[in-house]
Structure 1
């Protein structure tokens, strides 16, 4: 028995086949939306084996992408996709038993489903710790979670900014003479391509570092330990060295780690919570 968990993003659809207990992924994959072959056909070809018995998904994608996912799941398994949104609070069941996370957004349902499920997975892996969860994709998001032993974790809020590629492409689209650059990151750029690459990368690093420093200072004022920094998304590895070097040396954070498939892991935990709460059929 296998569950299909799906993360539908702005540029790609990621998925994993979870084992029946939800403790591990037995296969993962990604399909990019921009491709000549219809997305539904590509997804159906990838999802035939193992045949899923349930499908759980979160999405920040458009309606067309969500419909393609639904068609693919129906074709391979004749089941409906259970779309998961953000919640006012999460209470873990099964593999996530004991985890509690409160959504501090003014309107909890406005929070992106990907951010919410990434935080669920982060809190499950690092219980009782305060966390900065930074995801670098089409958009860069940096979210703060306050953790404390014996209490529910609290998502305080976060920031959203254009991702690295979006920053670079916006310069090319919005200016007359700046190219779509593919330069290097150097200390003192002496050409336009390197200037754009270095400037946009430093903007990403600076955003994450500023949020981490501010949150760490807030926790220190409350007599709490510094947060842990988690990096996820396509650009996580390119940001890891620069962020770790400064923040660890100054003890702004306790650790810096790269977390793969954070959203998918959160969706799997949520799937088990949803399944545990579902009414059992009468015998």
Structure 2
């Protein structure tokens, strides 16, 4: 078995897949808090038969080292995905391919397996990322903006009279809490719709929406849409089975 890790800014998501293809066969999955990252050893011990760990880490070197130490002596070093020029039918159009976030690269790889037409790949988490990929598999570029929770906390933490709001979306808000939440949701949905306009006229254009925050604004989107649970783990599975060997660090 292969253990896949998506070490994000808030949580560490993991998934077990078979060591042989197909890459979309999930055997088990779960998540860990950053403070409990050492618990990865327990995940490994609970699932005998793991032979590799392949991961994406955007949470920093310190967390990567904690995860590496947790499995030291149990398995070979974690193989961390590093963005490159191409992988599994996806070509990296960044001016410096190495600067692309590993999670965005993995999500693009996962998206390409699901949809071979032009697509906007959206991952909504601590940050919301929007990445354009054409029908030839070229990642053309994209956006990064604060996720919903970051937007809400920024308003609460940097203004004198605005609270950390909790409310439902309202088309025409009549309370401060509704105004804050609805404004942030409009910002998320509006960014997606504006970016999708770049491919809207192309045949089979689709928005692939993933991430823990996706459900907050999915119903507001007026674009062809497909929800996907975790495109980063999907892409890591494809990479582990088909891509070049990942890089081991630590």
Shift of the 120–60 alpha-carbon distance from structure 1 to 2, 3 Å rule, reads same
- Equivalences for 1:43-62 in 2 at 5 Å? 43-51=40-48, 52-62=50-60
Is structure 2 residue 231 aligned with structure 1 residue 262?
yes
Q: 1:72 to 1:147 in 2, by over 3 A?
A: same
Structure 2 residue corresponding to 1:236, chosen from 181, 189, 214? 214
- Which secondary structure does the structure 2 equivalent of 1:187 belong to? coil
Match of 1:5 in 2: 4
Q: How does 1:201-280 map to 2 (within 5 A)?
A: 201-216=185-200, 220=201, 224-243=202-221, 246-247=222-223, 255-274=224-243
Q: CA deviation at 1:276?
A: 7.7
Q: CA deviation at 1:229?
A: 0.7
User: Which entry has the higher C-alpha Rg, 1 or 2?
Assistant: 1
Partner of 1:189: 173
Partner of 2:113: 124
DSSP 3-state at the match of 2:6: strand
> Cα gap change, 1:271/1:125 in structure 2, threshold over 3 Å: closer, same or farther?
same
Report what 2:76 is aligned to: 79
Report if the CA contact (8 A) 1:133-1:231 is conserved: yes
Instruction: State the alpha-carbon separation in 1 of the partners of residues 44 and 190 from structure 2.
Output: 39
Question: What does 1:67-106 align with in structure 2 at a 5 Å threshold?
Answer: 67-74=65-72, 77-90=74-87, 92=88, 100-106=89-95
3-state DSSP of counterpart to 2:187: helix
Alignment match, 1:18:
17
SS of the residue 1:215 aligns to: coil
Q: In structure 2, how many angstroms separate the alpha carbons of the residues matched to 1:184 and 1:66?
A: 37
Residue matched to 1:112: 101
Equivalent residue number for residue 133 of structure 1: 121
Indicate if the aligned counterparts of 2:19 and 2:241 stay in contact, CA closer than 8 A.
no
3-state SS, counterpart of residue 163 of structure 2: coil
What is the CA RMSD across the aligned residues, in angstroms? Answer: 1.7
TM-score, normalised via structure 2 length: 0.92
Gaps of 5+ in 1: 93-99, 248-254, 278-283
1:251 is matched with which residue? Answer: none
Secondary structure of 2:160 counterpart: coil
Report the count of equivalent residues.
243
Q: Which has the higher contact order (CA 8 A, sep 6+)?
A: 2
Instruction: Give the structure with the higher percent helix.
Output: 1
